Amino acid sequence: MGCGCSNLSLCCWSSGYNASIPEVQDVENEEKSEVDDVPAFREYSIETLRMATSGFAAENIVSEHGEKAPNVVYKGKLENQRRIAVKRFNRPAWPDGRQFLEEAKAVGQLRNQRLSNLLGCCYEGDERLLVAEYMPNDTLAKHLFHWETQPMKWAMRLRVALYLAQALEYCTSKGRGLYHDLNAYRIVFDDEGNPRLSCFGLMKNSRDGKSYSTNLAFTPPEYLRTGRVTPESVMYSFGTLLLDLLSGKHIPPSHALDLIRDRNVQMLTDSCLEGQFTNDDGTELVRLASRCLQYEPRERPNPKSLVAALIPLQKDTEVSSHVLMDIPHGSAASPLTPLGDMCLRMDLTAMHEILENLGYKDDEGAASELSFQMWTNQMQETLNSKKKGDSAFRHKDFRAAIDCYSQFIDVGTMVSPTVYARRSLSYLMSDMPQEALNDALQAQVISPVWHIASYLQAVALFTLGKENEAQVALREGSVLENKRGAAA
């Protein structure tokens, strides 16, 4: 006798599965729903965010479609060394600034270890920007679909599914059950290799709420009828993500459901996972996916029941995420170069020698601008002040170097990261660490990927007694220096 199901469910796979899942106490998720080390939501000025992103430099774009994305995301760094992700909306989005602020403030009240939390926003003039925690280890899409060294392990895929469900459960419990365009690009990995849900999807892209932008083959069926996102639509998208995790590919749900109907789950499974899980484990994940992909929204599970179903499936729970992901961690992430070690030892004499030997090689574009403007009297005077500064710097007359470089900078005809770096070191030699830090930050604004700027920030921060921030700048300098060496 048939089961009498009018829609696709997997009751034929396991009798009684569609009965409600017993609620399992999610201890891990409730232990720490609030995150202590994340600052409260605040408003940022456009100038602060411009500084943090080096003038919204192309080198700092982290959106998957680069500058072509309708709303571009940049990585940046605040003066306190906190790394941030800045989403800059296109001009027509959010015409009502107050409405944008209210929406951002509501999302900014959320604080959870499963989210990349929203730290603030900016709405000056036509500008609409969101500021979130920066997650340095790429997106789920990169690790699943575009991996270079090894595919994501089965245990990690299960962890991604659980952590994502926990993030959605937390948001739902706080009255933010809508998530726009949930996909593999919305899941990002933190310093520890743990997956987190981007807070950007909790914001509508515009005031009408119609922000579903994925390929129509992957959108919930009800969205095609109503154009609206509901909490049940989010569950449908969660089902497509479970298929991504299972297959390692972005498979249209209709095709996946055909395979499930035919019990051809082998075709759904990533061949790279062979031997990493049992048939029962695979079947269980397929069951969950198919429940999320039910045509009728009311028949899909809620986040709480997803969490309860995913907890028993977890593997290797004692193994850290960065180990499962094979992500370098802590001191192994970027071993200090000799230059980095020099900064750690606060060897300013050696730093002086390096800057002196480096000259102005890293001032890209500055020389041509100088030659074009050399004929003006003002430019000749500016050049003279720079030459005097260079001479004073060479002879370690740092007070004179500060004065001469300041004259050059104040004229403002041209910008030079090297001049800022030299004045920064001169300030350090003159026991003026805050001024040194300001100049090092300015050097990085002009030249976003210049390792010298990060190293000078580290030395200034060490001098100011800001050990943690200094270590962050030091690691960043090492990463930039190593990238530079690899590209050479």
Is 181 among the residues known to form the active site? Answer: yes
Residue 120 CA neighbour count, 13 Å, CB half? 16
Task: Measure the CA–CA gap between 338 and 343, rounded to whole angstroms.
Answer: 9
**Residue 372 gets which letter from DSSP?**
H
Q: What pLDDT is recorded for position 206?
A: 55
Q: How many helices (H) and strands (E) does the chain have?
A: 20, 8
**Residue 347 gets which letter from DSSP?**
-
What does the pLDDT profile of the chain (488 residues) look like in tens digits? 333 333 443 333 333 333 333 333 443 444 444 566 899 999 999 999 999 999 999 889 998 776 767 789 999 999 888 999 999 998 777 888 888 999 999 999 999 999 999 999 999 988 999 999 999 999 999 999 988 888 999 999 999 999 999 999 999 999 999 998 899 999 999 989 999 999 999 987 655 545 555 566 688 888 888 877 889 999 999 999 999 999 999 888 888 888 888 777 777 888 888 888 888 888 889 999 999 999 999 999 999 999 999 999 999 999 999 999 988 766 555 678 888 888 889 999 999 999 999 898 888 654 444 445 545 556 677 788 899 999 999 999 999 999 999 999 988 777 899 999 999 999 999 999 999 999 999 999 888 889 999 999 999 999 999 888 898 899 889 888 988 877 76
In this structure, are strands 195-198 and 187-189 parallel, antiparallel, or unpaired?
antiparallel
Q: What pLDDT is recorded for position 33?
A: 43
Query: What value, to the nearest 5°, has the Cα angle with vertex 294 and ends 243 and 283?
Result: 45
Q: What pLDDT is recorded for position 333?
A: 55
Q: What pLDDT is recorded for position 30?
A: 42
Token pair for 134: 């920066």
C-alpha dihedral sign at 267, 268, 274, 280 = negative
C-alpha dihedral sign at 305, 307, 312, 314 = positive
Q: Which burial class, exposed, middle or buried, applies to 4 when counting CB atoms under 10 A from its CB (0-12, 13-18, 19+)?
A: exposed
Q: Could you tell me the fold of the domain covering 42-133?
A: Phosphorylase Kinase; domain 1 (3.30.200)
Task: Measure the CA–CA gap between 363 and 420, rounded to whole angstroms.
Answer: 11
Nearest CA to 180 out of 273, 262, 82, 107 is that of 107
Contact (Cβ atoms closer than 8 angstroms) between residue 229 and residue 223: yes
Nearest CA to 53 out of 11, 21, 87, 26 is that of 87
Contact (Cβ atoms closer than 8 angstroms) between residue 337 and residue 481: yes
Q: Which burial class, exposed, middle or buried, applies to 47 when counting CB atoms under 10 A from its CB (0-12, 13-18, 19+)?
A: exposed
CA dihedral (60, 62, 64, 70) in degrees, to 10, reads -70
Q: Could you tell me where in the chain the CATH 3.30.200.20 domains are found?
A: 42-133
Single out the catalytic residue among 26, 181, 363, 439. Answer: 181
Q: Could you tell me where in the chain the CATH 1.10.510.10 domains are found?
A: 138-325
Contact (Cβ atoms closer than 8 angstroms) between residue 119 and residue 41: yes
- The DSSP-derived string for 167-189 is HHHHHHHTT----SS-STTSEEE
Q: What CATH architecture does domain 138-325 belong to?
A: Orthogonal Bundle (1.10)
Q: What pLDDT is recorded for position 11?
A: 37
Alpha helical stretches, state H, 146-247: 154-173, 221-226, 231-247
CATH superfamily label, 338-364+375-486: Tetratricopeptide repeat domain (1.25.40.10)
- The DSSP-derived string for 398-415 is HHHHHHHHHHHHHH-SS-
